[in-house]
Each structure stands twice: as structure tokens, then as C-alpha cells.
Structure 1
Amino acid sequence: MHVLVIGAGLGGLCLAQRLRQDGIGVSVHERDATPIFRRQGYRLHINADGQRALRDALPSRLWRSFLDTSGRPGPRSVFLDERLGHRWTVESAEETAPLAVDRLTLRRILLTGLEDVVAFGRRCTGYAIEPGGRITARFADGTSAAGDVLVGADGVNSVIRRRLLPHAQVVDTGLRQLYGTVPLDDRTRELFTADMFNVFTAVIGPNGSFVGVAPVETPHLSYMTCGFGARPEHLPCTDADLLRMSGVDLRAMVLDLVDGWHPRIRRIVEHWDTAGLFPAVLRTSVPVDPWSTGTVTLLGDAVHAMSPAGGVGANTALRDAATLAKALRDGGPIVPALRAYETAMIDYGFAAVRRSAANGHRFLGQDPLPVS
């Protein structure tokens, strides 16, 4: 068996790592030219599902590398008002508290040992199912690759999903977010309260706009993720303007928007690393009913993109990888194996989409999830 994976994000690479250990042929095709071709975010928290998937997929030395490069923030999610008054706290048990990791560091760990099966600069344009069931993926450079299973792990704009599930919708959440960081050193650490060294802290303003902070502290890397989110009607610019503004201009805009908030919040925003600051239009999948299983399937954001309000998008993609790898290594005909994977993934994946949308609507003013 040979598995074609379209997309070298966290889920696609986790799947490839496990398949290699199981002796199943795999090749990964990524449209970006390099792993750092575009900014995709900074800190992730890896919960129990994500940790199980990584422990299962990674060789022992890479699992140790993951643990060595993970931080251990406090186990709470804390919600404050714009004057830093306490609103509410969500507690996690200490033993199940998520680990905090840097996205690029984790991706590099997942790429280790896969150099011979991951190809960059390979933008997939579509696929064809050949007589006899083999699948051919086609790429923009005129090349192709063949396999027995095709996995679309190509993100929210998935080419594979558009062909496989043309009726599936990805919709605007009604939120815009700026992703940035503040380096943690002796000078900046005092900007942050003790609450802000938990899993996540959201400072929510009077119109629902928010500043979110979360630490990454490891022996190798130390920074505070610092994001700003708002509905587009509360921003002084269009989406098109937002997406082409410089980091300096984005910081200046946010400083105007948090005028009147606690002075500590303004100082945090003033210390944003503007070189790495970037905006995003947040989108979510709309859950769909189970489809007829074939030899093409989906994983991660390609099928169940979700609001970051649940904090489980990456973890769900990693869980997909573990679930799919197990279905394939258990043997038997391919289609029933993929059906077992899709049955489980559709259930937990779209449940996470619904929970994340509900959290985003309740806490951050996200649009309600459309009824599918």
C-alpha cells in the first residue's frame, strides 16, 4: 500500500511518521516552498489527545525532543475585563493540563526523518481515480504521483475537499485576529500578571474585542503569544486593507483600539514584535453528513476547520492522524478501513467544530455556526 498525503502541516506529518513506523509506503506533497514559507501562527497548546497522537507516531528520540521543547503553563484559562478585573476562570486538572509548544518547532520535529518522503513546492491541482482503483494526484508543475490512498491534509482551502465534497461549506466566523509575540526577558516579563502565565488569558473589551496572551517557555525559546481579535465592524479598515498593512501599522491600529484599557495592556501591545505580526480572517467549516467512502479521504482543517476559541484545531488534526494510521495498519480492505476512520473522525471532529463555535459565540462575539 502507498498513501499519498497532500499537505505537510502537523496532521499530515504526524500521519506520515506513524505510517513509516508501520512499514506503509507514504509520500507527502506540500505546496509551500519551505516549512517557513508563510506565517501560520506561534504557540499551540497540545492537550491529552494531541499528546497521545504524538507519542504514538514519533520514534522515542523525537518524542523526547517534543517533551524537551514543550512548556508547562498554569492549568487555567482566565478571562478578564479591559481593566483587568476578573470575569471567570476555567480550571483544568494539573495532570491533564496542556503543554505549550512553538508551532514551527513542532513542525521541525515532525519533519525529522521524513526528508526522503516530503516534497515541497508541490501544489496539488486535483486528482483522478484510475481504472483498477489507483489514484493519481496532479501538481501545478506538470508532475504527478500515484498511490492506493489519497489523504487531503491541505488545510482550510483544500483542493481535495472541493473535489470530494463540493457541497461542504467553509464560512467566515465574523472575527479577525492579529497574531503576534512579545519576547520574554528580564525587561518584558514584568508586563504580564501571574494570571497570564496560564494556558490562556483573554482580556475582553466592552465591544467584545480582546487581547489574548499565552506563554511558551522552554530551555530553548521564551516568548508570550499576544493576539488581538475583533469583529470587522469594530476595525477602522476593510479586510483587504488589514491583510496588506505592515506590522508597525497593525500595532498602531490596535493601540488606538485599546485606548482606555488598563495601561498594562497598552504596554504589552507596545512591545509586540512587529516583524512577525500578521492578520487572519478566521473561518470555520460547517458540519456535513457522512459521505460515501472511497479511497480519498480528508484530515484536519481540510475537513473540520474550526474557530480557535476551542483551542483544539491542531489537536484534532493530530487525533485524525492517529485514528487514520490505526485504521490502515489494522489490515483488511482499504475502503472499510477508511470508513471506520471517517465514522470516528466525523463524530469527534464536527463535535469539536460545534464546541469551538459555541465558545467563540459566547466569549468572543463570533457568528453562530450555520445550520448544515
Structure 2
Amino acid sequence: MSRPRVLIIGAGLGGLALAHGLRDAGVDHLVVERDASVRSRRQGYRIHINADGSTALYEVLPKRLWELFRATASIPGPVGEFYDHRFDVVHRFEADGSARTVHGLPEHLNVNRLTLREILATGLDTVRYGRTFTGYRRDADGRVVAHFADGGTETGDLLVAADGVHSRVRRQRLPHARVVDSGLRLIYATVPLTPATRPLFPEGMFGGYSAILGPKHRHLGGAPVEFAEPLSRTASRIAADASLTEHRSYMTSAFGARVEDLPDDEELFAMNPSALRGLALDMMDDWHPRARRMVEHWELSSVLPLLLRTSVPTEPWPASEVTLLGDAVHAMSPAGGSGANAAMLDGAILAARLREVRDGKPLLEAVAEYENAMREHGFAAVRMSADNGHRMLGQDPLPPA
């Protein structure tokens, strides 16, 4: 199979990373995404990029886009702190100067999710937006036929589920794989970093991710994303074909609580941004005034509720012409800051294995090697994130595999 055709369902970070890797390898591929565009739906704001994420991006991105990623990434400060709800420091960490770098970048970075997705979408003419995947079958030749809600089909030698935690591909390919409620809900928002708001945040909240830990497992997490110049100017200097949505520097702010302390999901997800902010403030009634002022400065247009789910690690399955990556197979709590990195690492690993298929390796052998690596690092990240979430935030313990 010198030139397999790969169908990728989903144009999130993992699916787009895979597409770039396949483009570089000269492997025929098509990405199909249900959203109308890369900007159609808010999925969050700041994400943490670790060594796995930076390495994956370095391996799959063209040089100009790698440099654009470097220029738009935010480097955390050297001091980080966690606080209790009275704003007393309960944990402090400082960079010791020995932290390793990854291709010239610090090991830990903060990036704006949409900016990274726009960078990953740049230069790809193989992405088709506005098509909803409904299921797949195999044809008489054993190839995979993907069906879409518009009545159309696409045929390929390999189907890749990159369609997130609600993956329709996973439900068909691995119906026994479980995704469970973490027991936590977040109200997510941003605070623009201006001369008026910056003093709200102590130095220890500019060192990556920090959190104010309150009673009853309530918490207010935060992390900065800062831009040195307008994003359009950065893109024009480095990758003129990249179209980046402008963002001001901001502090991500996320209030979290146990599900039993909140309105039911139907009511919670029907609340408008002002009501969500009011709910968070009501649940922080006895917190330090500084913490409450942070929430009072939420940008209302940015406020949204999130239901946190996690996959349950699954026993290995035999390789086939349908595989999975990212949240479609190992969704995880954000408490480990690993989800996006794991998805992009999946994309880079799978692209490398499919390059070998182009050069003569049997497809199922390559898929098996990829899935072994994906399960090892992906499910380890699920367990780590669930453990952190349970210890620090009151997340439900991860069920047994």
C-alpha cells in the first residue's frame, strides 16, 4: 500500500497535527469537520503546552508555522503559587534555572487555544468544514466508507477518529470504551490584562497555572496568556498566509465546584453569562475580596460552563482500519494540563507510522504500533490527570479499567 488514503474525522488540535504530518509525508488524506469553520465554536481559552506538545508541533509543522507558534506562545513567569480562599499561600514553586528546553523553547508554555488551532489550520487545503459524520462501513474491497449527514460518503484505507469526547467513531469502533462524568463543573472566563486589572493578580499567578482552593472542593484557577504585539502583525512577519483572530492579553479564570453543589446541568447550561458569574460569586461569599474581584472582572462575552468528563483506560484491542486519537480515545481532566499535548503527540506518532506505510510497511502493523504507543502515553496521562483532579479539586476517583 504505497499511497494509502486517510480519512480524519475532526479538525481539532490532534486531527490538524496529523494532517500536517501526512502532508509532509506525502500521504493522501482528507479532514472532515462538523463545524462551519475553525472559529465556529468556543472550546476554551488558555491551554498548557508541555514537552510532548512542543515536540509534536516541531515534528509536523512547516518551519514558518513552527516559528509562528513560537512567537505567539506565552512564557510563564518563574514563580507560581497556590492559595487558600483567604489568599494565604499554601504552595509555592520557583524555576531553578535547570528546566530543560524543547527545540529552543521552555518546557512549559501557555498558548491561546484558538490561536494554536488557527495556526494548525493554515496551509491545509484538505479540510472540509460543515459536514457531520454519522457512521462508517466497509465496502466489498475492505476499505472504510464514511457516511455524512448530507448524504455523501468518503472512502479511505484508514479512518481516524479525531472527533473528541463525544466521538461517534469510538461508539461504533469501541462500544465498550467508557467516558464518565468527573463530578466537576467549570465556569470558564477570561479577565483582560489591563493596567486596571493586572494588579488584581499577584506575581504567583503569572507562573503558569495557579489556583485558589476553597472549602467544599470549590476552586478558582488561573493562568496568563500574554502577547507581545497584535497577532496580525506577528503573522504578517512570519507566516503571511496565517489568519489569526486578535486577542488581548488575558488571565484565564475558571471557577470549579462539585456537581451536587450546583444547579442541575439543564439549568446551569441555560444560564446567561451574567447569571453564571453571579452564581460563582454567590459560592465564593466568604472568600477573600481579592479573589471575588477577579470574578467581578470576568469579561462577560467569554463566560461559558463546561462539563468535565474523563475516559476510563481500556484494555488493548486488535488493530484495524479504524483508529482513534486524542479525546476520542483518552479524554481527561484538565487537572494534568495534558489533554491537548496528548492529542498532538498522537497525531505526530501516527503520521510517522503512516509515512512508513507509504514506504511499504503493512497498514495494520503500523496502526498496531501507533495504538500501542498511544495507549501507553494517553492512558498514563488520563490516570495522572484524574489523580491530580481527585486530590486537589475533588474529582470523582477514576473507575477501574
TM band (smaller chain): over 0.9
The alignment partner of 1:79 has SS state of: strand
Report the alpha carbon displacement of residue 171 of structure 1 after superposing the two structures with TM: 0.3
Whole-angstrom distance in 2 between the partners of 1:326 and 1:259: 52
Q: Which residue of 1 aligns with 2:383?
A: 354
Q: Which residue of 2 aligns with 1:37?
A: 40
- 1:99 and 2:102 matched: no
Q: Which amino acid aligns with 1:27?
A: L
- 1:324 and 2:350 matched: yes
Which of 316, 330, 334 is the aligned partner of 1:304? 330
Q: Which is worse superposed, 51-60 or 213-222?
A: 213-222
The alignment partner of 2:220 has SS state of: strand
- 1:119 and 2:122 matched: no
Which of 55, 59, 79 is the aligned partner of 2:58? 55
The alignment partner of 1:207 has SS state of: helix
Whole-angstrom distance in 1 between the partners of 2:81 and 2:33: 37
Q: Which is worse superposed, 33-42 or 71-80?
A: 71-80
Instruction: Note if contact 2:80-2:206 (Cα within 8 Å) is conserved in structure 1.
Output: no
Report the alpha carbon displacement of residue 50 of structure 1 after superposing the two structures with TM: 0.2
Q: Which amino acid aligns with 2:351?
A: A
Q: Which residue of 2 aligns with 1:14?
A: 17
Whole-angstrom distance in 2 between the partners of 1:218 and 1:181: 15
Question: What are the equivalent positions in structure 2 for 1:218-257 lying under 5 Å apart?
Answer: 218-219=227-228, 220=230, 221-235=248-262, 237-257=263-283
Report the alpha carbon displacement of residue 20 of structure 1 after superposing the two structures with TM: 0.3
Whole-angstrom distance in 1 between the partners of 2:366 and 2:123: 26
Q: Deviations over 1:318-360 (max 9, x none)?
A: 1101111111112301000000000111111101100100000
Q: Which amino acid aligns with 2:251?
A: M
In structure 2, stretches of 5+ residues that fail to align are: 101-105, 231-247
Whole-angstrom distance in 2 between the partners of 1:188 and 1:25: 49
- 1:4 and 2:7 matched: yes
Instruction: Note if contact 2:79-2:206 (Cα within 8 Å) is conserved in structure 1.
Output: no
Report the alpha carbon displacement of residue 224 of structure 1 after superposing the two structures with TM: 0.5
Instruction: Note if contact 1:282-1:307 (Cα within 8 Å) is conserved in structure 2.
Output: yes
- 1:341 and 2:351 matched: no
Q: Which amino acid aligns with 1:122?
A: R
Q: Which residue of 1 aligns with 2:203?
A: 194
Q: Which amino acid aligns with 1:231?
A: R
Question: What are the equivalent positions in structure 2 for 1:113-152 lying under 5 Å apart?
Answer: 113-114=123-124, 116-152=125-161
- 1:85 and 2:94 matched: no
Whole-angstrom distance in 2 between the partners of 1:329 and 1:78: 44
The alignment partner of 1:244 has SS state of: coil
Instruction: Note if contact 1:161-1:298 (Cα within 8 Å) is conserved in structure 2.
Output: yes
Whole-angstrom distance in 2 between the partners of 1:153 and 1:52: 19
In structure 1, stretches of 5+ residues that fail to align are: none
Report the alpha carbon displacement of residue 75 of structure 1 after superposing the two structures with TM: 4.9
Report the alpha carbon displacement of residue 133 of structure 1 after superposing the two structures with TM: 2.2
Q: Which amino acid aligns with 1:334?
A: L
Count residues in correspondence.
370
Q: Which amino acid aligns with 2:284?
A: V
Alignment CA distance shift 1:34-1:252 (3 Å): same
Question: What are the equivalent positions in structure 2 for 1:149-228 lying under 5 Å apart?
Answer: 149-219=158-228, 220=230, 221-228=248-255
Q: Which residue of 2 aligns with 1:278?
A: 304
Q: Which residue of 2 aligns with 1:370?
A: 399
- 1:24 and 2:50 matched: no
Q: Which is worse superposed, 103-112 or 323-332?
A: 323-332
Q: Which is worse superposed, 75-84 or 256-265?
A: 75-84
Identity percentage of aligned residues: 55
Which of 69, 72, 77 is the aligned partner of 2:72? 69
Instruction: Note if contact 1:75-1:98 (Cα within 8 Å) is conserved in structure 2.
Output: no
Report the alpha carbon displacement of residue 268 of structure 1 after superposing the two structures with TM: 0.6
Whole-angstrom distance in 1 between the partners of 2:83 and 2:216: 14
Q: Which amino acid aligns with 2:64?
A: R
Q: Which residue of 1 aligns with 2:239?
A: none
Whole-angstrom distance in 1 between the partners of 2:75 and 2:369: 35
The alignment partner of 2:147 has SS state of: strand
Q: Deviations over 1:148-177 (max 9, x none)?
A: 111000000000000000001100000000
The alignment partner of 2:160 has SS state of: strand
Q: Which amino acid aligns with 1:304?
A: H
